């Protein structure tokens, strides 16, 4: 029988780590179905993910991380999943910690639509490359200012989404380097996020999409996306029974 929770693992050329990521998800997050989105890999990511026991959705060519994750949202929306968690295919995230994200989502302290695993909420010895750290610092200041709450790890890809967030991002999800923009989108659609501290590891093999050389491009692209995001018309959301949403829209 299909479960109510889905773990999606975007993966591009992760043949060295994908099987162990799928195995640890099966072991440590047993209430989750597992969907690996093979984003046009040229290695054996597909075969290894499938033999480890995941469903695998295979893009015929590379769409980029945003496209890969959006395929996950679409699958989760169409198949009626209640929660979707996103986990890197390189072993950086520990499936044991999904429980922490779930506990926060279900803690009853107000509605939360996205829980984000943060490396920086409590010091944990994680050292991102220098250029990446500078980018994270700038984006976390800027985003915190715009969304009016502290965001410490805006590029984290370890995130849990509820049904509202799944439906929003199945319709529209940023491309290229999507995490920072996704926080902004969530804010403008009046959905709510929070962070919980997690450990993150260095990737287990393969190469990161964000090499030091690409960091400058990343910075410029995401800065532009933030500016464009600020200029875009605000969506009008049905406030339902949420007085805070109604007030924010002046209804
Ligand atoms: N680089 C890259 N990663 C992708 C793509 N599509 C899916 N992914 C996967 O997205 C996840 C996050 O990417 P990663 O390079 O680890 O980014 P980082 O953790 O932010 O350094 C990994 O599991 C990748 O395999 C893509 O087009 N490019
Ligand atoms: Mg990674």
The H or E element spanning position 159 is: strand 159-161
Q: Find the ligand nearest to 203 CA.
A: 2
For the stretch 80-128, pLDDT in tens is 999 999 999 999 999 999 999 999 999 988 899 999 999 998 876 677 7
Look-up of token digits 């799944």: 166
Cα–Cα–Cα angle for 126, 192, 182, rounded to 5 degrees = 60
pTM (whole model) above 0.75: yes
In a domain? residue 243: no
Q: What residues make up the domain containing 49?
A: 5-237
Q: How many structural domains does the chain have?
A: 1
Instruction: Flag whether 248 is in a domain.
Output: no
CB atoms < 10 A from the CB of 111, how many? 12
Q: Cα-flanking dihedrals φ and ψ of residue 45, to 5°? A: -55, -45
Q: With the C-alpha atoms ordered 195, 199, 202, 207, is the resulting torsion angle positive or negative? A: negative
Which residues have C-beta atoms less than 6 Å from ligand 1? 10-12, 14, 39, 62, 64-65, 68, 88-90, 92, 157, 203, 208-210
Indicate the top mutation candidate among 65, 71, 86, 95 to test ligand 1's pocket, ranked by most ligand atoms within 8 A of CB: 65
**Cα 58 to Cα 249: distance, rounded to the nearest angstrom:** 41
Cα(159)–Cα(228) distance, integer angstroms: 24
| CATH code of 19's domain | 3.90.550.10
Q: Can you give the length of the chain in residues?
A: 251
Average pLDDT along the chain: 89
Does a structural domain hold residue 250? no
Q: Please tell me the distance between residue 14's alpha carbon and the centre of ligand 2 in angstroms.
A: 10
Which residue puts its alpha carbon closest to atom 24 of ligand 1?
Answer: 11
Give residue 242's pLDDT band: very low, low, confident or very high (50, 70, 90).
low
* 231 C-alpha to ligand 2 centroid (Å): 30
For 139-154, how does the pLDDT look when each residue is reduced to its tens digit (9 = 90+)? Answer: 999 999 999 999 999 9
Q: Which residues surround ligand 2, an ion (CB under 5 A)?
A: 88, 90, 92
249 domain residue, yes or no: no
Is 187 a member of any domain?
A: yes
pLDDT tens digit string along 31-79? 999 999 999 999 999 999 999 999 999 999 999 999 999 999 999 999 9
Residue 159 to residues 62, 118, 125, Cα–Cα distance (Å): 22, 9, 20
The pair of structure tokens assigned to 18 is 């994908």
């Amino acid at each position: 029988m299909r479960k109510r929770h889905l773990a999606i693992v975007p993966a591009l050329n992760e043949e060295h780590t994908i099987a162990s990521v799928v195995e640890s998800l099966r072991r440590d997050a047993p209430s989750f179905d597992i969907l690996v989105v093979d984003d046009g890999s040229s290695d054996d990511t597909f075969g290894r993910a499938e033999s480890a026991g995941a469903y695998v959705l295979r893009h015929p060519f590379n769409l980029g991380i945003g496209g890969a994750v959006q395929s996950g949202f679409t699958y989760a929306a169409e198949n009626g999943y209640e929660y979707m968690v996103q986990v890197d295919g390189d072993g950086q995230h520990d499936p044991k910690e999904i429980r922490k994200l779930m506990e926060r989502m279900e803690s009853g302290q107000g509605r939360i639509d996205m829980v984000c695993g943060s490396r920086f909420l409590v010091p944990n010895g994680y050292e991102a490359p220098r250029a990446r750290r500078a980018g994270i610092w700038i984006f976390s200041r800027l985003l915190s200012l715009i969304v009016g709450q502290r965001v410490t790890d805006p590029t984290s890809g370890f995130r849990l989404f509820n049904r509202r967030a799944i439906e929003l991002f199945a319709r529209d999800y940023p491309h290229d380097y999507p995490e920072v923009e996704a926080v902004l989108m969530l804010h403008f659609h009046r959905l709510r996020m929070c962070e919980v501290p997690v450990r993150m590891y260095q990737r287990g093999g393969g190469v990161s999409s964000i090499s030091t050389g690409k960091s400058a491009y990343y910075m410029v692209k995401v800065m532009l996306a933030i500016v464009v995001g600020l200029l875009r018309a605000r969506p009008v959301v049905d406030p339902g029974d949420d007085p805070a949403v109604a007030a924010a829209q002046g209804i």
